[in-house]
Amino acid sequence: MVTFGRLLTAMATPFADDGSVDYARARELANALLETGTEGIVVAGTTGESPTLNVEEKLRLFAEVKDIVGNRGTVIAGTCTYDTRESIHVSVEALRRGVDGILGTVPYYSKPPQQGLEAHFRAIADAIDGTPLILYNIPGRTAVNMAPETTLRLSEVPNIVGIKEASGNLDAIGTIIRESRPDFLVWSGDDAITLPILAIGGYGVVSVASHLVGQQISRMISSAIDGALDEATPIHHQLAPLIAALFATTSPIPLKYALARCGFPCGSLRLPLVDIDDRSAAIMDAALAKTQIDLPTLGAPAPALSR
């Protein structure tokens, strides 16, 4: 079974000036993430603006990122939508591009019942023929929460290897950690509570902040796993203002602003997302001023973006 690593990054999708996907910059960004502590890269997830990417763009992104990553890390493809048939089709095609695993987001908009969620993920897991599938529960985006009982039933499927949990419910997350099979892994889906999830037995994080502070998050995880909370806790508190700033408005708007401010611009956003507002930009600027950034630059720091 593939080992994905404890620090996974939900990678932003770079866009060129004409709004097309900038595949060359995507390769550069993936490489920079690996150099700063990331062990696996989630491509075309929420942070990658997946709802605005068409199937052809996603498939090329999977291929380009896997090509640059090679065996230095893993690539997890965000392939799943509210349509089970499409999710299966894109997942199978992603595997042909060499990805190491699939991220299965809870279907959004249609608000299926728990039985529908279970049937959806069982169908995808069966179709990908043993390839690892990581579930993703994020009720704030999908309008439906996958109950821990549903996750526990799905954890019995051999190639459903874990879950990215962004429900914010530590009781539910603890239940999953405690009652799932021993090798079923739980990654935090919320940077702000990675340390608490690690403290109750979580495995790692699928991070947004690791674009900017991957080395520091990696040290926090290692310290927590080693039981050195006196080392992990100060890092958690030091990074808290930056993490809050990354969600001052809809993600990944603040992230793309921060990448530009730190000298690694990845283009604008696709509608309906828009450039950052003045208030959120000020919050991010203040957080960046207090944070040691790990990401290498592509040149001189960018000037303040016009808004």
Catalytic residues: 136, 164
Number of other residues whose CB lies within 10 A of the CB of residue 10: 28
Contact 255, 211 (CB under 8 A): yes
Both tokens of 291, joined, read 């944070």
Q: Rounded to an integer, what distance in angstroms lies between the CA atom of residue 84 and that of residue 255?
A: 30
Closest C-alpha to 215, from 296, 136, 131? 296
The residues, any chain, with a CB within 8 Å of residue 226's CB and separated by 6 or more, are none
- Look at residue 42 and give its three-state secondary structure: strand
Closest C-alpha to 9, from 106, 103, 83? 103
- The count of residues in the chain is 307
CA Rg value for the chain: 18
First to last CA, the chain: 47
